[in-house]
Structure 1
């Protein structure tokens, strides 16, 4: 179903990790607007509600008013100025979240077209772990994977063995 190309490789690893920790009977609030991965979760039997595009740094009302069993946040925290505030506002006891990892050989992502499509944070795994711990979460499971490209060069070669994505399953302490 999913090839080993971006974003399909990422989708494959993410859905397999989600299925390992979250039953389809558990309701999900996915941080971020409806996207291709929302549809993949639904195809696997999950009931998913998304946030509506509000600025989560300023407006966490959807999170605060949610009765979802699980919060998912796939590549969203790097776009927030204050992911700590969002993590603290979650009422659910389960969290599945992924972030792109900081690459020492590449600067943080910044779109020149979409002013909102920029990474304020690119975490090292220990930084994301610390953020979650400080916000009241205990990491139960974690996984990393690479994101190779078919381009030629030193940086594309480094992407073959340098992890780019980090996903965690955490429970509220």
Structure 2
């Protein structure tokens, strides 16, 4: 199971998290429990997850957790209105990652799962603006690439074009 995990992305994400929210910390990780939830726990964090509720319709769910920080790893691009969830968070720290809009590829859209679609693929300034407009002060950011082992123009472009954007913000 773990051989298929996106190791580079997970390693970057974990290092970014540790840099800004050291363990032990109680974290609400938006989204259902996933392999990265387990990785965080193995690194000393206490992790709570949402259970697949539609956060566009129920953004107030984030208030029912008493945590040190909220994480959102590749979640906000699936929401129609991530602003509403960000406004409801009562914790004072957020670490979030989002896929960046790539000029050479369309936004991701699953043909079989309506929930597994990207309503937003942000440019870095757009995500910073969303964070700031919803009451957060961006303190640190980082980008990384997502190379894939295939032949073609897009795989070559992915080797040096950043795909993921991480943000640490505080209230």
Task: Give the TM-score range, shorter chain.
Answer: over 0.9
What CA distance in whole angstroms lies between the structure 2 residues aligned with 1:60 and 1:166?
23
How far residue 65 of structure 1 moved from its aligned partner, in angstroms, is 1.7
Report what 2:136 is aligned to: 137
Report what 1:47 is aligned to: 46
What is the aligned-residue RMSD (CA, Å)?
Answer: 1.4
Q: TM-score normalized by structure 1?
A: 0.95
SS at match of 1:102: coil
- Say whether residues 1:89 and 2:88 are aligned partners: yes
- Say whether residues 1:149 and 2:148 are aligned partners: yes
Report what 2:121 is aligned to: 122
Q: Deviations over 1:57-83 (max 9, x none)?
A: 001232022211100000000000000
Report what 1:98 is aligned to: 97
What CA distance in whole angstroms lies between the structure 1 residues aligned with 2:165 and 2:110?
21
Report what 1:24 is aligned to: 23
- Say whether residues 1:35 and 2:29 are aligned partners: no
Q: TM-score normalized by structure 2?
A: 0.96
Runs of 4+ in 1 over 2 A off after TM superposition: none
How far residue 127 of structure 1 moved from its aligned partner, in angstroms, is 0.2
Structure 2 residues not aligned, in runs of 5+: none
How far residue 158 of structure 1 moved from its aligned partner, in angstroms, is 0.5
Structure 1 residues not aligned, in runs of 5+: none
Work out whether residues 74 and 99 of structure 2, in 8 Å CA contact, stay in contact via their aligned partners in 1.
Answer: yes
Report what 1:163 is aligned to: 162
How far residue 23 of structure 1 moved from its aligned partner, in angstroms, is 2.0
SS at match of 2:159: coil
How far residue 6 of structure 1 moved from its aligned partner, in angstroms, is 5.9
What CA distance in whole angstroms lies between the structure 1 residues aligned with 2:150 and 2:45?
36
SS at match of 1:128: helix
How far residue 113 of structure 1 moved from its aligned partner, in angstroms, is 1.8
SS at match of 1:109: coil
What CA distance in whole angstroms lies between the structure 1 residues aligned with 2:5 and 2:45?
23
Report what 2:65 is aligned to: 66
Number of positions where the alignment pairs a residue of Structure 1 with one of Structure 2: 170
